[in-house]
Amino acid sequence: MISAVSADWVIPVDAPPIEGGIVRYEDGRIVEVAVGRAERHFAGAAIVPGFVNAHTHLEYANYAGFGDAMPFGPWITTHISRKRQLDAEAMLAVARLGALECLRSGVTTVADYSFSGAAAQATADAGLRAIVYLEVFAVPAADAEEQWHEKRQRVEETPLVRIGISPHAPYTCSLDTYRFCLSLGVPVGTHLAESPHETEWFLHGSGPLAEIGMFLVPPPGTRPVQALESVLGPDLLCAHCVEVDESDVALLAARDVPVAHCPRSNALLGCGVAPLTPLRAAGVRVGLGTDSPASTPSFDLFEELRAAVYAARARERRADALTAAEALALGTIDSARALRLDADVGTLTPGKRADLTVVSLAGSPYHPVEDPAAAVVFGGSPDRVLETIVDGQTRYRKAEETEWREVRSIASAARARMLGSPRPPRP
Ligand SMILES: [Zn+2]
């Protein structure tokens, strides 16, 4: 059966915006994008491709504010000790909340690095498209293999959920571990060059990463990107890449290494501003990720789009360093390219999967609309998402948000457990 939605604007991203546009889809696939009006018409709204969130940790959905403004050492210690309070059931409840928050923000695909694997179940249940990269922390590759097999048997692939592996970072995993992960033929993602502390540890073996003592690989005396040189390639998704100099950018480009840019996380953890413009200019496949509430306040992809624009323009001191249309592409098709999902998602194009988001622009300062991409990027918010459709199925509808009460209350009980005893009452 053919379904259709229409709105004041349809923004295909790979083609100019269509005023009074319609998207028709059948069996989960887009069949037509054109001028027209459907029975289900959204006045004062824009239809955009579902956002592709290139870096999340859904199972940290309720970790907001833990260790805020702390240096990296105490920050990570707080997270580790609090995470220990949660059993598998609680982790699943929190991951479910994360999946729903993503849908509420118009996200239809996530690239999720998962410690427990709970994200696989949570995304499958929510109907969110996902690559779930199971995290391993290992110096001997044999340890990575053991962790992989142990976690892999807990999770299942579905038509929408693929399973990958995440060697956590080059300061917790050896090159042999990276080679093992890349030999599996599944998607591979890591964290790379995130903080000045990481650079300090790689160059000098000192600083907070050395003091924590969970980092076991001897530092090679090179910059982080150089340290991974022998394993860098188009199949290794690298989150962050803040601490990169010109030669690192050139190496990432030469090896066609995909990068997930996470400007809010990098800013809030005091890590810096990634060189988005130079990376893009060098031809690196850069996508956009919210990271998780362990470091950012939310999975709000609109906030992330704006942060990307602010950071790029402030860093380059040019108002055109990242236009609204480029930002919208960054959060959709560019992220899809970074994840190698661009044949299926990222634009509203006949033949691709029907992943789309309806954003209300009514009452925003950008309405009536002059530039629809700017209206979505600067005027959009999760509260303005009216509907999120994944693979032709409506997975979120604004009016039905009350159904989440149970998910929220279970996740909030898990958070209370992590916070320990209740706060003393105010005087
Ligand atoms: Zn991360």
Question: Amino acid identity, residue 20?
Answer: G
Structure confidence by residue, pLDDT tens digits, 156-207? 999 999 999 999 999 889 999 999 999 999 999 999 999 999 999 999 988 8
> Of 72-76, 294-298, 329-333, where does mean pLDDT reach its minimum?
72-76
Exposure string (b/e) for 193-228, b if CB count within 10 Å is 16 or more? bbbbbbbbbbbeeebbbbebeebebebbeebbbbbb
User: What's the number of CA atoms in the CB half-sphere (13 Å) around residue 256?
Assistant: 5
Q: Tell me, in angstroms, the distance from the centre of ligand 1 to residue 240's CA.
A: 8
How many angstroms does the Cα of residue 131 sit away from the middle of ligand 1? 14
Buried b (16+ CB within 10 A) or exposed e, 129-164: bbbbbbbbbbbebebbbebbeebbeebeebebbbbb
Residue 279 CA to ligand 1 center (angstroms) comes to 19
Distance from the alpha carbon of residue 166 to the mean position of ligand 1, in angstroms: 10
More confident residue, 213 or 129: 129
Model confidence at 422, pLDDT cuts 50, 70, 90, reads very low
Percent helix, strand and coil across the chain, each to the nearest 5: 40, 20, 40
Assigned token pair, 178 = 């990276």
Lowest mean pLDDT among 54-63, 80-89, 390-399, 415-424: 415-424
239 CA distance to ligand 1 centroid (A)?
Answer: 7
Burial 270-309 (b: 16+ CB within 10 A, else e): ebbebbbbbbbebebbbbbbbbbbbbbebbbbbbbbbbbb
Distance CA 369, CA 11 (A): 13
Confidence of residue 288 (pLDDT cuts 50, 70, 90): very high
> 270 in the Ramachandran plot: left (φ > 0), alpha (ψ -120 to 50) or beta?
left
DSSP state of 399: G
Cα 113 to middle of ligand 1, angstroms? 7
Calculate how far, in angstroms, residue 55's C-alpha sits from the geometric centre of ligand 1. 6
Question: What CA–CA distance (Å, rounded) separates 131 from 112?
Answer: 6
Q: How far away, in angstroms, is 220 Cα from ligand 1 center? A: 23
Contact indicator for 179, 231 with CB cutoff of 8 Å? yes
CA of 184 to the centre of ligand 1 (A): 21
Fill in the amino acid letter for 126.
Answer: A
The rounded Å distance from CA 64 to ligand 1 centre is 14
**pLDDT tens-digit series, residues 205-218:** 888 888 776 556 76
Nearest to 10 by CA among 373, 263, 339: 373
Q: Ligand 1 centre from 398 Cα, in Å?
A: 28
- Centroid of ligand 1 to alpha carbon of 41 (angstroms): 38
CA 238 to centroid of ligand 1, rounded, Å = 10
At 426, the pLDDT band (50, 70, 90 cuts) reads: very low
Over the Cα atoms of the chain, what is R_g?
A: 21
Q: What percent of the chain has pLDDT over 90?
A: 76
Strand order across the beta sheet in which 356-360 lies? 29-35, 18-26, 2-10, 41-49, 356-360, 385-390, 393-397
Segment 21-35 shows an average pLDDT of 98
Q: How far is the CA of 118 from the centre of ligand 1 (A)?
A: 15
Distance 36 CA to ligand 1 centre (A): 41
Q: What is the pTM of this model?
A: 0.94
Helix (H) / strand (E) containing 114: strand 107-114
Largest Cα–Cα distance in the chain? 64
CA distance 427 to 425: 6
Helices and strands in the chain, H and E counts? 16, 15
The confidence score (pLDDT) of residue 240 equals 98
CA 256 to ligand 1 centroid distance, Å: 21
Rounded-to-integer distance, Cα 207 and Cα 189, Å: 25
Element (H, E) at 358: strand 356-360
Residue matched to tokens 């409506």: 394
Ligand 1 centre to CA of 290 (Å) is 9
- From the CA of 191, how far away is ligand 1's center (Å)? 6
* Distance in angstroms (rounded) separating the CA atoms of residues 237 and 340: 10
Ligand 1 geometric centre to CA of 94 (Å) = 16
Residue, of 256 and 414, whose pLDDT is higher: 256
DSSP 261: E
Cα–ligand 1 centroid distance for 177 (angstroms): 18
CA of 180 to the centre of ligand 1 (A): 20
pLDDT at position 337 is 98
Confidence of residue 71 (pLDDT cuts 50, 70, 90): confident
Cα 135 to ligand 1 centre (Å): 10
